[in-house]
Amino acid sequence: MRDFLENEIPYIKFKNVSFSYPGKKDNLIFQCNFSIKKPGFWMVVGKNGSGKSTLLKLINRIIKPQNGFIDSRANIGMVFQNPDHQILMPNCRSELLININRNISQNEINKKIEYVLNQVGMTGFEKRPVHTLSGGQKQRLTIACALISDRNFILLDEPTALLDQTSQLKVLQIIRNLTIDHKKPLTALWITHRYEELTYADAVAELKNGFLSSWQEPSKFQYN
């Protein structure tokens, strides 16, 4: 499945998707229609509690909509707000190793580790213990883990919320570069409540009162 998808352009499509958590009568997501069909830097902005993480859980099929349907064909990876909730191993190499397809030679494994560390600006960090990394470096390691497992569609749930401004910009820039890679551009869906991050996106939508707006260019984006 993974190899099969590797050279395809991933896509997701929501058709009239509605969702509410058990015991809540109001729809948190209401008749949501959108699609992402090409690589690029896609951002969804919304206030705390607007349902952004829920939207990602629907995309990831962790939860199922009560109404509507979700069509997708993508090898989805996740980057969460807090990398400490995601990183399991004591150093960068071992963390990358648990994410790699082990069906390749040792030489290829080493090359791939070097390649993805370079892609996230962490060349030479292979042996570094995770506890010596900054928050931003840990977040970049989680991105490298998604890349090394050949994910072609990465969902990032407020990945800069816990970072200082320098690290925040670095992570934004890395994702930006990955989405414009001329050989194999990534599809990234970035969730944020920080409006200043929207300028990095190719397209922006706002989640509000259960509705997701249509995609807009960041320069034309208006929020209420």
The b-or-e profile of 153-188 (16+ CB within 10 A means b, else e) is: bbbbbbbbebbeeebbebbbebbbebbeeeeebbbb
In terms of CB distance, is 81 or 137 closer to ligand ADP? 81
In terms of CB distance, is 79 or 92 closer to ligand ADP? 79
Give helix then strand counts, H and E, for the chain. 6, 9
Residue 158 CB, nearest approach to Mg ion (Å): 6
Q: Which of Mg ion, ligand ADP, none is residue 51 near (CB under 5 to 8 Å by kind)? A: ligand ADP
In terms of CB distance, is 26 or 182 closer to ligand ADP? 26
**What SS3 state is found at 193?**
coil
Residue 61 CB, nearest approach to ligand ADP (Å): 15
Q: Which residues bind ligand ADP (CB under 6 A)?
A: 21, 28, 46, 48-54
Backbone angles phi, psi at 219, to 5 degrees: -70, -25
Separation of alpha carbons 171 and 209, rounded Å: 29
Residue 12 CB, nearest approach to ligand ADP (Å): 17
Q: Is the dihedral of CA 157, 163, 165, 167 positive or negative?
A: negative
In terms of CB distance, is 18 or 53 closer to Mg ion? 53
Alpha helices, DSSP H, located in the chain: 2-6, 52-59, 92-97, 106-119, 135-148, 165-179
Q: Which of ligand ADP, Mg ion, none is residue 136 near (CB under 5 to 8 Å by kind)? A: none
- In the range 48-87, which residues lie near Mg ion by CB under 5 A? 52-53
Q: Which of ligand ADP, Mg ion, none is residue 90 near (CB under 5 to 8 Å by kind)? A: none
What does the binding site for Mg ion look like in residue numbers (CB under 5 A)?
52-53
